[in-house]
Structure formats: structure tokens, C-alpha cells
Amino acid sequence: MEIAQKIEKMRTKHLKDIEVAARNADIATILLLTKDIAEIERLRERYSDIEDSLLAWEENKTNKNNKVISSTETQRVSIIASQTHPSYKAQGKKRRIEFTQAAERKGLRIIPYRGVKFKIGDKLICIPTASGKNPNRWFMGFPPDNYFALVLICEETDGVCVRFILNGEFYAKILKHQSIEGDGQLKFNVHKEGSHYFLKLTGLDKIEIDSFKDNFELLRTL
């Protein structure tokens, strides 16, 4: 069996086991399985990096041989594209960095751990982001893990970011009421109605989260 297939088989089995544990409200089992999922995701990322490096090498070799356009022009086009159309991943990373800088100005040191996962001391927190493509609605997703807090960064259509810092109880609600998608992510959304913001979860009434806006004090209690 190829390595990629073996990794995917392991991942699929663990995700199914997590869904069963979530339906049974078996938090202990969920926490154990999410640690395994985190390691599997690291393996997937490493394998994906290898594939990307190989493809980049092959593409670079082909371009050198064919010389379709000059290297100078290629670089110029690449720079213009990256400046005018930043990727969602790059934009999310930028917003997370801005948040950690804001936290540091308040005396809180938040350390990058992996992707959307960060640490305050030995406590794990998650910082998912969503762009303002859809006015007043942000769709978010993140991998399950043993989080002590969530920081939801919602970027408005004008580029202004609104940040909500939620405690572990919200994560428990999301874990209980939202299913894990095929990509291993817990998906949910935030809505804005008038001047108020709400977390919307399957099977629950909308939850107002206005009071959690820039709730840095919560992070001091971790």
C-alpha cells in the first residue's frame, strides 16, 4: 500500500471513531483520538510538502528546458499576482500574526505551534480566520484538538477584523453539535445581524458572542 493511501486510511478510521465518540459525548476518547489525528495531520503535511517540492522541481526543470518566457518576466508576474491576489492561507496567517502582536502589547505571549494552533504557556488555543467575501457571514473550520480557548477572526468586507475570544465551553459545544467534515475539520459559521454577532451551531439557537469581542482577559486566566 502506498504511503499516502495508508495515511488516509488511518485518518478516515480515526475520524469515524471521533464521530462515534462525539455522539456518545465521550470526551475522554475524543481527546485521545484527536491527539492521534494531530499526528496523522502532521504526517499528511510532511508528505504533501514532499509532493509539492517534487512538483516544483519538475516544473522548474521543464521551464528551464522550454524557456517559454524569461525568468525575469516570470518573477515579475509572480510578484504582481502575489501582491494583488494574496492567498486565503497567506491572509489568514497575516491576521493571526496581527492578533499575536496585539496580545503581546497587552502582556500576553502567544507562540505559534502548528497552522491555526497556538500556545499560551502549555495551553493550546486555536485561531481560525474567515475573509469578508460574504457580507455579515463567515464560514470557519479547524481541526479538533484539546483546546482551552478559541479566537475567531472575522474579516469584514472593508478589511476590518473583528476578533472573538471564546473559552473552552464553546469548543465543547462546537465539538458536540458540529460534525467533522471529510477534510478533518469542524465547520461552523458566525453571522452578523445589525450590530450583533452570533455563533450558529446545528440544533442550537444562535448564540450571541458580542461580549467576547477582544476578550483578552480570558487568555490571562489560562
Three cell numbers at 151? 479566537
pLDDT grade for 123, boundaries at 50, 70 and 90: very high
CA 44 – CA 46 distance, rounded (Å): 5
Domain boundary among 34, 66, 82: 82
Tell me the pLDDT tens digit for each residue of 5-64: 787 788 788 888 888 888 888 888 888 888 888 788 778 777 666 765 665 565 555 555
Identify the DSSP state of 192: E
Contact between residue 22 and residue 175 where contact means Cβ atoms under 8 Å apart: yes
Task: Give the CA distances from residue 100 to residues 53, 173, 213, in Å, rounded to whole numbers and listed in that order.
Answer: 30, 25, 15
Q: Do 113 and 182 sit in the same domain of this protein?
A: yes
Neighbours of 175 (CB within 10 A): 21
Element (H, E) at 151: strand 149-155
CA 51 – CA 156 distance, rounded (Å): 35
pLDDT grade for 117, boundaries at 50, 70 and 90: very high
- Which one is predicted more confidently, 33 or 163? 163
Q: Do 70 and 148 sit in the same domain of this protein?
A: no
Q: Do 124 and 180 sit in the same domain of this protein?
A: yes
Q: Which amino acid is at 6?
A: K
User: Structure pTM?
Assistant: 0.64
- Report CA dihedral (164, 167, 169, 170) to the nearest 10 degrees: 20
pLDDT grade for 78, boundaries at 50, 70 and 90: very low
Task: Indicate if the pLDDT at residue 90 is higher than 90.
Answer: no
Residue 101, domain extent = 88-220
**For residue 104, what pLDDT is reported?**
95
- Count up the domains in the chain and report the number: 2
CA 120 – CA 126 distance, rounded (Å): 11
> Could you tell me whether strands 186-193 and 196-200 are parallel, antiparallel, or unpaired per DSSP bridges?
antiparallel
Element (H, E) at 80: helix 71-84
Sheet holding 207-208, edge to edge: 137-142, 186-193, 196-200, 207-208
Q: Do 128 and 31 sit in the same domain of this protein?
A: no
Three cell numbers at 137? 457571514
Contact between residue 136 and residue 191 where contact means Cβ atoms under 8 Å apart: yes
Q: Do 71 and 105 sit in the same domain of this protein?
A: no
Neighbours of 56 (CB within 10 A): 10
Domain boundary among 82, 117, 146: 82
Q: Do 135 and 193 sit in the same domain of this protein?
A: yes
**For the range 115-121, what are the long-range contacts, defined as Cβ-Cβ under 8 Å and sequence gap of 24 or more?**
115/143, 116/92, 116/142, 116/143, 117/143, 117/145, 120/148, 120/149, 120/219, 120/222, 121/222
Domain boundary among 31, 60, 82: 82
Q: Do 179 and 194 sit in the same domain of this protein?
A: yes
Average pLDDT, the chain: 82
